[in-house]
Structure 1
Amino acid sequence: MKTYLSCALFCLSLSATSAHATSIELGGFLKANARYVDGNIAFQDSWSGGGRVVDPAKRTQFSAQESRFNVKLNHEQIFGFAEIDFVGSSQGNPIISNSYAPRLRHAFIQYQGITAGQTWSTLVNTSSFAETADLGGPLVGQAMVRQTLFRYSTPHWQFALENPYTYGTTAQHNEDKTQWIDTSNDYLPDTIIRYNQAGDWGNVSVSALIRYLDANDSKQWGSGLSVGAKLFTFGRDDLRLQLHYGNLGRYVGTDAARDIIEGEIETSLSGMFAYRHFWSERSRSTLFYGRTTTEAEQTDRYHWGVNLFTDLTPALSVGVEFGRYEIQDASTDTTAPSPRGASNYAQLSMQFSL
């Protein structure tokens, strides 16, 4: 009996030691939005680089689906992070429950410079994201991709192999309609090399992307360059910038550009800037603009806005934002010109950060 008791106590002590060696930190925020959209681009909970042109309409929607929760795990040299939110995962409806399912944003492990799992693509410089009420800011001009990757990082350099995926349409044959690309032949990982530099002045990153796109036996190499920066200016003000050029496709613009258009690899030019000015210790505004243009599909889409945020307490902020999202795509087909449109929006947000 004493032997069994000793074994039980020993096992409990090991469990306690293990538990004490791992620190757990919970985080995230609760966010409530009231959003009004007026125009002929269909309502979106937040503007992406896509959009449908419809008959002019006005719509107001309230939502809390952007709320998110995360957990950080530290065990000796191992760091783990997982995060969920509820964006775009509606299970109910506005008639009764407005239910939303949890959606995985991040789930990754870090150990001695190695990152493995789902997180921001190495192409993404998160410090250059604007502070906005509209989720993500001017996504139409930004690198905004989360995916599974394996990355090695040094103080200045990052080398990554990331999940391959080809987004686009096949070449037309005779009178056949354009078909979406079959992605079952994506077999070479996307490769990204990034250089980072930081100081009291802010930070800047330069990234290069190399891809092999063999969907539908297309056998095409693609490449692109990306720059992201956050630069401090006067007082607490800062300027945030992104510039992207090349065969970046799905990596930039959140549906503003595809990887391949009718069998031809796409080339895009994208950019965004955001200037944040502090009116006081508790209040600040951001003026932002983002845009993407493409060569093959001839898309031209942009988003601008201005906002005002105030901290009611250190953990609670409220903000109001006004802006416009516009599609001005060109078309080589005179019989079926591309639709064009614009929508103005206003949004009120309140956020409690945990």
Structure 2
Amino acid sequence: MAIIYTKAPAQIVLTKTQTADNEFEVSLKPLLQANYGITFQNMSAADGFVPQAIEVPQRDDARGYFSMKQTTIGLEIKKESTTKENSFYSYLEIDFYGKNGATAPRFKHGFIRWKGLTIGQTASNFSDTEIFPNIFDFNGPSGLLYSRRIQVSYSTHFSKKETLSLSLEDPNTPSISLPSNNYLGWRKRAILPSLSGVYRYGDERSYIKAGAIIMPISYAMKENMGDNYKTCTIAGWGAMISGKLRYDERNIFSFESSFGNGIATYNADLNGEKYDAVPDPAHKNLLETLRLFNVVGIYEHWWNPKWSSVAFASYSKVGGKDFIPTDMTKILYHMSLNLIFQPYKRFRIGIEANYGIKRTFDNQKAPAWKIQTSTSLQL
């Protein structure tokens, strides 16, 4: 039987107490990972492979890069109870992607969970972390919906196979472009939270998900220097469908497709790149949301219990307003293939290749390659 890496979480129990009705446990969950990669074309991001970061026009600029920033340290606190209603779980995690490229601690996850209610920062409800493939690159396919958000979410089971999750997420989530000649001082405002809902049907082996989101985008504007600010709010919206099919113990197929207007910041590659809304010069520079379409296919194969490979292909398209700045990204392609040797269920070593293409709205395009070797150990 194949040993599936993602199903083997490691932990170091720091303390554990047992009573008649409860079990309280505090555990440390460290992951050590070291990468050495060579990028053959110029990219503005050194860590991971990010097609959005490919520089256009392209310059061949081979560079080697060593990093341990993907190392994470997690602290888990949980209380198991004989009555599920009293169970409690909390988690805190840091990695080492510091500001300005520094190798320094960075807050990643921090939340508490009780009775299906989650409060804190973790992966957005409008994403599917279950299909993240068994790869070394922390970014993953560029077309995936993945972001971490401060949120209040609630999950409930309709049956053994049916789950519905709802969330209200950080109103500061939208990432927008303001007019380039912003002498009037327009500014982004955080007012209303995003609202998402995701339905899941299936079990741990195979399932399908469908979800939707509404994301209010607010900003303060004025037409003349002496005017008072007034708040404008437009609505971003999106839908997604994803799933996983475990054909047998050796073959796993996963997919995700998403589309909408003004939701680019939920995309793994466009997060924070100001692609949710841009100003329309023909209409007093008022912001308009941009369309986004993503599709990702992932195939994982276990050659035997110790050797595995993952191949994926991803496509994203932004569009399509005639006033979009020509240097903005229009299309992203991303493909990857790896070979991983896993002699123990908590230790991996392997090689991974990534290839991407970035095309802008003035039809310039640039490809990029990256090959990396990696080792990871869950203590």
Q: TM-score, normalised by structure 1?
A: 0.83
Give the 3-state SS of the residue equivalent to 2:104 in structure 1.
Answer: coil
- Match of residue 46, structure 2, among 44, 48, 53: 44
Distance 1:340 1:212, change over 3 A: same
- How much has 1:178 moved relative to structure 2? 10
Per the alignment, residue 194 of structure 1 pairs with 198
- Residues 153-191 of structure 1 show CA distances to partners (whole Å, capped at 9, x for unaligned) of 10211111000222121356xxx37999722x2210000
The 3-state SS of whatever aligns with 1:250 is helix
Look up the SS of the partner of 1:50 in the other structure: helix
Q: How does 1:50-89 map to 2 (within 5 A)?
A: 50-51=52-53, 52-53=55-56, 54-75=58-79, 76=81, 77-89=87-99
Q: How does 1:90-239 map to 2 (within 5 A)?
A: 100-138=103-141, 140-155=142-157, 156-164=163-171, 165-171=173-179, 176=181, 182-183=187-188, 185-199=189-203, 201-216=205-220, 217-239=231-253
Which of residues 268, 283, 289 in structure 1 aligns to 2:292? 268
For 1:315, which of 346, 350, 360 is the aligned residue? 346
CA–CA separation in structure 2 for the residues paired with 1:198 and 1:69:
31
Question: 1:167–1:181: 8 Å Cα contact kept in structure 2?
Answer: no
Tell me the secondary structure at the aligned position of residue 302 of structure 1.
strand
Q: Which of 303, 306, 319 is the aligned partner of 1:279?
A: 303
Offset from partner CA, 1:233-257 (integer Å, 9 cap, x none)? 2442101111110022201142277
The residue identity in structure 1 corresponding to 2:319 is E
C-alpha distance in 1 between matches for 2:185 and 2:37: 33
Alpha-carbon contact 1:169-1:179 (below 8 Å) kept: no
Aligned length: 320
Does the 8 A contact of 1:168 with 1:181 survive in 2?
no
Cα offset, 1:346, TM superposition: 0.5
CA shift for structure 1 position 82 = 0.7
Work out whether residues 239 and 274 of structure 1, in 8 Å CA contact, stay in contact via their aligned partners in 2. Answer: yes
Aligned-partner Cα distance in 1 for 2:344–2:211? 38
Equivalent position amino acid for 1:219 in 2: T
Change (3 A) 1:278 1:329: same
Please list every run of 5 or more consecutive structure 2 residues that lacks an aligned counterpart in the other structure: 1-16, 82-86, 158-162, 221-230, 280-286
| Whole-angstrom CA distance in 1 between matches of 2:33 and 2:251 | 25
Alignment match, 1:295? 319
CA RMSD in angstroms, aligned pairs only: 2.4
1:92-132 residue CA offsets vs partner (Å, 9 max, x unmatched)? 6xxxxxxx221111100001110000001001111111221
Measured against aligned partners, the alpha-carbon deviations of 1:246-292 in whole angstroms (never above 9, x if no partner) come to: 02220114227711022211110011111001111110101111121
Greater strand share, structure number: 2
Which runs of 5 or more structure 1 residues have no equivalent in the other structure? 1-15, 93-99, 332-337
The equivalent position to 1:252 in structure 2, one of 246, 253, 267, is 267
Match of 2:4 in 1: none
Cα distance between partner residues in 2 of 1:145 and 1:198: 24
Greater gyration radius? 1
SS at match of 1:127: helix
177 and 59 in structure 1: CA distance in 2 versus 1, 3 angstrom threshold: farther
